[in-house]
Structure 1
Amino acid sequence: MNHRLPTYFVSHGGGPWPFMKEQYGETYDVLEASLVDIRRQIGDVKPAAVLVISGHWEEKELMLSSGAQPPMIYDYGGFPAHTYQIKYPAPGSPQLTQRAAALLTAAGHAVSLDPQRGFDHGTFSMLYPVYPQADVPVVQLSLLHGFDPLTHVKIGRALAPLRDEGVLIIGSGLSYHNLHQFGPEGRLASHQFDDWLQMVLKLPPSERTTALLHWGQAPYARNAHPREEHLLPLMVALGAAESEDAACVYHEDEFFGHLAVSSFRFGEPVAP
């Protein structure tokens, strides 16, 4: 692959939703279509690998998954029995793990490898619509405790060269993540925070980064993200394409009937 790949921040939905079509009906159709469209945007050419920064993995020190055949992590509760038998058998990529570790170390980040880390639902549920055959290698990168936005932007900056090496970088979280207000009571906060995100991501790159680093000052910020682990993957995706334009590639105003949610691309698509 000779093209620089864009990066993505995707709102990954809830639990194992791609495997619950009977239960959810059309609830996730718009999100699913946006994920499938990522293949078109990168030219329908399989990347060498996918590096996922999931809101469901956080550590005191940066960790990279390093297993050749990562297992599954069913990090959800109360779902149908069959969702605890899901397999997403994508291989790992020890080569990408070593390359990412070298880039992060060179940028001054301490990083360790985890050969046991499996695919959490922030990874396999989001990737299943994109690559249902699980035929693209996948490596996961953890978030860092403390959730410092600048640190995560710097992590993205360190990983930017991977984009020229055929690696698709995806930050997987949710643009609105308050599970205690996931119904009509979340409408105002989700819409106000989403409006702010849409506005900020249209700013010139330097202003955009500054605004996102101070995301806590946004309208209803802490209502939208009482704990920001589902927002921080956005900082990594941004950092890896910091000087490039952003585009909204998924948006709904009435997700689960009430909520505004979005996904974003940084950098130009390979295919128009």
Structure 2
Amino acid sequence: MNTPLPTLYLSHGSPMIAIEDSPAARFLDRLGPVIERTFGRPRAALVVSPHSSTRQPFVLAGARHEAIHDFGGFPAALYEQRYDVAGDPALARQASRLLTEASIAAPAVEADGLDHGIWTVMKRAWPGAEVPVVPLTLVPTASPAQQWAVGAALAPLAAEGVLVIGSGAMTHNLHRFFGLRGQTEGTAPDVAAFQGWVRDRAAARDWPALFDYRRQAPSAAQQHPTDEHWLPFYVAAGAGGDTAGVRIHDSVDAGVLAMDGYAFGPQAERLNQALQAA
């Protein structure tokens, strides 16, 4: 690749995104092909998800990964989904070194498996498992600024053809989502306000405000009763460097579950334009 890849924050929302049709699912279906046409096929994807949380970050160095069905109460068709994909042990060790050099202890461990925050987005974007995957665990107690530092340490990977992805959800109040599903038309005003605040602050590179989102963003606690699905945003942003965040997708499920996607880095707008043209 002649240019660094953009880094991405992608909303997976519910694991049903793996099998349901929705604007966010169709966006992910387009994303992989557009990335390949615009930049070439990524060497690998390094993905952090809220569903693999640990007290310190670990990089999974397994040679192969399979989908983990880490959820309950969903239709049988969802449990029949598989995603068998290559890992990249050498990349896992490289990521571990980069983090260690940034004073972030993150051992590479001989472990495998993809939680649903990883395999659902990868299966939609690359259904043939063409891109190897390296999972990075999330430390949910780390602050947004600390998550940014994790991403910043991994920034050199983007120039080496590695797609750094934070998988989560733009808003993630599941009690509200399941209570309103099928009953809400349009987007709830407070959800739209939160989406707009993030869009504007990211475009302005106002990282101090974004780090302090819990106090400054409108109705932040309503959108994220707990913030583990939001924290991967900062890993992706940090890996993109001190550049504006570009919203590359926005949609809302059931009026309350925002499914926005963001790109970061010097090539973020190029990806956005390619997606709009696709």
Fold-level similarity (TM above 0.5)? yes
SS at match of 2:68: coil
> Which residue among 55, 59, 65 is the counterpart of 2:54?
59
1:76-115 matched pairs, under 5 angstroms: 76-115=71-110
Q: Tell me whether 1:198 sits opposite 2:193 in the alignment.
A: no
Shift in Å at residue 80 of structure 1? 2.0
- Residues 1:215 and 1:81: Cα distance change in structure 2 (over 3 Å): same
Partner of 2:239: 240
- Residues 1:172 and 1:258: Cα distance change in structure 2 (over 3 Å): closer
Counterpart-to-counterpart distance in 1, 2:140 and 2:11 = 21
Q: Tell me whether 1:266 sits opposite 2:264 in the alignment.
A: yes
Shift in Å at residue 44 of structure 1? 5.8
Shift in Å at residue 2 of structure 1? 2.5
Shift in Å at residue 262 of structure 1? 1.3
Overall identity of the aligned pairs, in %: 34
SS at match of 1:230: coil
Q: Tell me whether 1:32 sits opposite 2:30 in the alignment.
A: no
Amino acid at match of 1:102: R
Partner of 1:6: 6
Counterpart-to-counterpart distance in 2, 1:11 and 1:97 = 23
Question: Once structures 1 and 2 are overlaid, which stretch shifts more, 256-265 or 123-132?
Answer: 256-265
- Residues 1:67 and 1:220: Cα distance change in structure 2 (over 3 Å): same
Are 1:16 and 1:121, in contact at CA under 8 Å, matched by a contact in 2?
Answer: no
> Which residue among 135, 145, 149 is the counterpart of 2:144?
149
Are 1:63 and 1:141, in contact at CA under 8 Å, matched by a contact in 2?
Answer: yes
Counterpart-to-counterpart distance in 2, 1:100 and 1:259 = 32
Partner of 2:18: 18
Counterpart-to-counterpart distance in 2, 1:10 and 1:121 = 13
Counterpart-to-counterpart distance in 1, 2:172 and 2:225 = 8
Are 1:237 and 1:266, in contact at CA under 8 Å, matched by a contact in 2?
Answer: yes
Counterpart-to-counterpart distance in 1, 2:78 and 2:259 = 24
Amino acid at match of 2:3: H
Counterpart-to-counterpart distance in 1, 2:199 and 2:102 = 30
TM-score norm. by structure 2 comes to 0.87
Are 2:65 and 2:114, in contact at CA under 8 Å, matched by a contact in 1?
Answer: yes
Partner of 1:124: 119
Are 2:17 and 2:25, in contact at CA under 8 Å, matched by a contact in 1?
Answer: no
Partner of 2:134: 139
Are 2:151 and 2:234, in contact at CA under 8 Å, matched by a contact in 1?
Answer: yes
Counterpart-to-counterpart distance in 1, 2:259 and 2:120 = 17
TM-score norm. by structure 1 comes to 0.89
Counterpart-to-counterpart distance in 2, 1:16 and 1:258 = 16
SS at match of 1:181: helix
Shift in Å at residue 233 of structure 1? 0.4
Question: Once structures 1 and 2 are overlaid, which stretch shifts more, 107-116 or 216-225?
Answer: 107-116
Counterpart-to-counterpart distance in 1, 2:5 and 2:139 = 25
Deviations 1:165-192 (A, max 9, x none): 0000110000000111113599243222
1:138-217 matched pairs, under 5 angstroms: 138-182=133-177, 183=180, 184=184, 187-203=188-204, 205=205, 208-217=206-215
Partner of 1:256: 254
Amino acid at match of 1:210: P
Aligned length: 261
SS at match of 1:67: coil
Are 2:8 and 2:262, in contact at CA under 8 Å, matched by a contact in 1?
Answer: yes
Partner of 1:224: 223
SS at match of 1:118: coil
Q: CA RMSD in A?
A: 2.0
Unpaired segments ≥5 residues, structure 1: none
Shift in Å at residue 13 of structure 1? 2.9
SS at match of 2:200: helix
Question: Once structures 1 and 2 are overlaid, which stretch shifts more, 121-130 or 157-166?
Answer: 121-130
Counterpart-to-counterpart distance in 2, 1:158 and 1:259 = 30
